[in-house]
Amino acid sequence: MSPFMITIAAFVGVSALIGAVAVYALGSREGKVEERLGMIIDPERTKNAAKLKAREAALYESLDGGHGFFETLVTRFARLRLLFQQANTNLTAPTFFGLSGGLAVAGGAVSIASGIPLALMPFMAAMAGVLPFLWLLFRRRRRMKKFASQLPDALDLMARSLRAGQSLQSGFHMVGQEMSDPIATEFGRCFEEQNLGVPLDEAMRGMTDRVPNLDLSFFSTAVILQRQTGGDLAEILDKIASLIRARFKIYGQIQALTGEGRLSGVVLLALPPVLFLAVYRLNPDYIMPLFQDPMGKQMLAGGVVLQLLGAIVIKKIISIKV
């Protein structure tokens, strides 16, 4: 098989992996949380969730003009549109996959030009092709982390606004005006949607879809329940803010206690690839049996599998949910 065909096959495999990871990462845990919160807020609306999603998809298509069958297919299976919104980027699905394909081909070409064995070319192409998706996840994670850190201050600001006699909508507007991105953008968008006639529960549901934060879902649930049953909303917001700050404090302590484990995991996972590259640079003939001998290929595959299992185990050990 020619090197070009190997590169194309590697790109197709990486694209399928990206789609599967996106579906799992964006639609598993957050979807279950939103479904349960929706049943608490309005059981009747939960029954019509499929119809609402279809209407929202039609609305997006009419506003954006659409990108044909390819855009529809990608949006349904990978939910890239939501990922782009959460990462706050103007990329489109065709641009994203075109960039991934270009990087995959470039990675394969660079590996051939640098004299790396052909057996490693699909791996290099796959690593280059997955870089845009990793960049999106990094950008999304950084934005969600910053939003979570801003949420307690935003709730305090809204509570003070309510005690001063202003409305809840004015509290959303104040957060959008006084605070910085990303929370200012999201709360400001929620305020603008209400001004355009969107009901508050729908506007807040849209915000929780764009920002999959559990504390924000609790805030949304508390606001909607308070509007239906009554109560002191300012006190509720104060309690949610104090709860979030206490959780951050515990999370910081856990990060300090698990710092040694995280550093050990990085060293153990990075040591085999770095040692492989060093030995290949010093004595390439010593490494070649891993790619030429059948036993060497089995050992190499076993090493990769064990590396992945080790990464999963270390991740489970150092990840403590708060």
Domain ranges in the chain?
1-129, 143-247, 258-322
Question: Poorest-confidence range of 118-132, 192-206, 241-255?
Answer: 118-132
Over the stretch 13-58, which tens digit does the pLDDT of each residue have? 555 555 555 544 444 445 555 555 555 555 555 455 555 554 444 4
Round to whole Å and give the CA distance between 220 and 203: 10
Q: What is the mean pLDDT of the chain?
A: 76
Asked: is 143-247 a CATH 1.20.81 domain? The reply is yes
**Residue 182 carries which DSSP code?**
T
For the full predicted model, state whether its pTM sits above 0.75. no
> What residue has token string 């308070």?
226
Round to whole Å and give the CA distance between 299 and 209: 45
Helices H / strands E in the chain, number of each = 18, 0
Contact present, 45 and 38 (Cβ < 8 Å): yes
User: In this structure, what are the phi and psi dihedrals at residue 319, rounded to the nearest 5 degrees?
Assistant: -95, 110
Contact present, 104 and 7 (Cβ < 8 Å): yes
pLDDT at 260: 80
Over the stretch 105-117, which tens digit does the pLDDT of each residue have? 888 787 777 766 6
